[in-house]
Amino acid sequence: MFKIQIPATSANLGAGFDALGLALTYYNYVEMEECDHIDISSSDNLDIPTDERNLIYISAKDLFEVCGKKLDGLKIRQTNNIPMTRGLGSSSACIIAGLVGANKILGEPLTKDDLVDLSAQIEGHPDNTAPALLGGIVTAVFDGRKVHWVKQEVYTKLKFVAIIPDFELKTEMARACLPKEISHKDAVYNLSRAALFSASLLTGKFENLRTAVHDRLHQPYRMELIPHCREVFDIAYTHGAYGAYISGAGPTVMAIVDENNTYFAGKVKFSLDNAGLSGWEVHELRIDNEGTKIIGV
């Protein structure tokens, strides 16, 4: 058995819909070993598929197929810390675990670039899968076959505070509510802000982040599917967040906060409780610059 550590991710970062994402210091673990049958379980008794419908297994099988090999079975032990269906990249973590694990079993035939491409083909977009594999902040364009990407390591005094509700929002539903077309003006609105986000994060111009996280492609529509989302944004800004955005497809709200804002998480939790939103949890995270790694054999 070897053990893989995979980070949570936060995609879109406001305006960078399907293009920007970053990895966070919140991890799933997957132990894996080749086996002549399927033997899948979770160490935390979470209800996961334990047969060939398991996403880690499906992804491993895809990699075997790409390499012209047949997968007879796998032993998989999952530790799922990343909450599922919350916009924190839990399915990408499964895809990346399957690919990285299968690649190791086969003696690493595929390169990092291959894994970025294959994971985007499985998921449909690269903004969670690429940072889950690579770490840091990733800018990615998926042309349908290949991902053109840049990973940048970020050493910053920023904290990313995940404000996570106790309800799920399925990505399919959060994509189904989006408009099929947008105006030229709205396209400019978004692309300028997405570019501003990366440049501001990387150069330390954090006062720009509040403008940079606004968008007209997805957040206004998804907010309608997330009860109390606006209140949670207000709470984050009241306590001094530089910016707040819906993480991935939601429903988690991510606040970007200065590390000197010491009691931000506690203040937000107190305000949530006072507003009758005690089901929302608050997790203080940092950017993970390393991405997925095998941490033990």
Q: Quick check: 126 binds ligand HSE (CB under 6 A)?
A: no
Binding residues for ligand HSE, rule CB under 6 A, total: 13
| DSSP state letter for 259 | T
Residues 6+ apart with CB under 8 A from 75: 1, 31, 32, 33, 34, 35, 39, 40
Kindly tell me which residue out of 22, 117, 118, 125 binds ligand HSE, with binding defined by CB under 6 A. 125
CB of 108 to ligand HSE, least distance (A): 27
**Cα–Cα distance, 46 to 44 (Å, whole number):** 5
Of residues 3, 75, 112, 175, which one binds ligand HSE by CB under 6 A?
175
In contact, 9 and 137? CB cutoff 8 Å? no
Beta bridge partner(s), residue 140: 149
Binding to ligand HSE (CB under 6 A) within 220-259 occurs at: 248-249
Q: Does 22 bind ligand HSE (CB under 6 A)?
A: no
Query: Rounded to the nearest whole angstrom, what is the least distance from the CB of residue 222 to ligand HSE in the complex?
Result: 8
Give the separation between CA 78 and CA 168, rounded to whole angstroms.
Answer: 20
Segment contacting ligand HSE by CB under 6 A, of 122-130, 154-162, 262-270, 277-285 = 122-130
x-or-dash string of contact with ligand HSE, 153-172, rule CB under 6 A: ------------------x-
Stretch that binds ligand HSE, among 52-60, 102-110, 121-129, 156-164 (CB under 6 A): 121-129
Q: What is the DSSP letter of 287?
A: B
Q: Does 75 bind ligand HSE (CB under 6 A)?
A: no
Q: Residues 6 or more apart from 190 whose CB is under 8 A from it?
A: 15, 17, 215, 216, 217
Minimum CB separation from ligand HSE for residue 142, in Å? 10
Distance in Å, CB of 115 to ligand HSE, minimum: 18
Count of CB atoms situated within 10 Å of the CB of 200: 20
Provide the CA 216 distance to its chain's centre, in angstroms: 20
**Interface with ligand HSE (CB under 6 A), residue from 12, 54, 190, 292:** 12
